[in-house]
A = this chain, B = another copy of it.
């Protein structure tokens, strides 16, 4: 950055004070229009660039927001959170802010280390994108700046959070399966893995309850171990007619597996996913799923964190962003 041209340089070139230059460049009152114009012109000619660090130090604001993503959600196959981050960066731009990505390494999460963006005062707020451990949630709570959980929440922590309405989305898509005549519907997911998976399960469960159907444990199919690694799904003796998967990738894997086993989707089994990500359209057949509105999540998150930066006492609680069912080819209407 080598402090190239400063306001002072412009000032002395024009024989005015740097205060006047500051006012002119910021369109503040107290400079004649003609002088303001002249200053702006010269600033342009000299290639002046604003020094945001100086402003930061005065205002105590960095104009950055940190986005923290736990490392384990950034595998080669997963780009959902990176996409959310991208949308956040775009939204922040509208507020004159920038987004700094912070991948939370497993070690740092384990050792409860503060992220550098925090300890070096690099950001005015932090968005934690993706579930972190209970312990680390406490660490986040100890950070003295506006913070927000995105795509997960914790009952015990009084931290604002923004999540897809997982419960309602799964509830709706299960209702749809039931409308299509399905009576033996399984849920695929490790319900102790993340709150998203758990809430989607509960929406599925509510739908069953409302329709007077009985839930049996054989209908709950585990898809991953406690480290989040996918495991082979064990099917019950009697094959269900439909599967509600906790996400599209799992639905995609399930379709592959079913095809390999000789089942045709949707003729033999119907499958629905959640997220509407790449896997939804890559699957064969293409998946009926619940779309997660990434842009809306980013927009809401950024608006919220900006609110909280301006007013640290603002509290929004848990905010739900609605999903929307996308109808494709993986569900079959069956006879009642």
Query: Using a CB–CB distance below 8 Å, which chain A residues touch chain B?
Result: 1-4, 47, 49-54, 56-57, 60-62, 64, 74, 76-77, 79, 82-83, 85-86, 89-90, 93, 96, 98-103, 116-122, 124, 144-145, 278, 282, 312
Contact = CB atoms under 8 A, between A and B. Distances in A.
Contacts of A120: 49-50, 52
Contact of A121 (B53, B99, B118, B124): B53
A112 to B, nearest CB: 14
Given A62-B1, A79-B83, A282-B282, A53 B57 contact: yes
A109 to B, nearest CB: 15
Contacts of A53: 53, 56-57, 62, 121
Contacts of A82: 79, 82-83, 85-86
A71 to B, nearest CB: 9
A99 B101 contact: yes
A77 B277 CA distance: 9
Given A4-B144, A60-B3, A121 B278 contact: no
Nearest to A93: B116
A81 B282 CA distance: 20
Nearest to A312: B2
B101 A86 contact: yes
Contacts of A119: 49-50
B60 A57 contact: no
A174 B2 CA distance: 48
B89 A101 contact: yes
A173 B84 CA distance: 35
Contacts of A117: 98
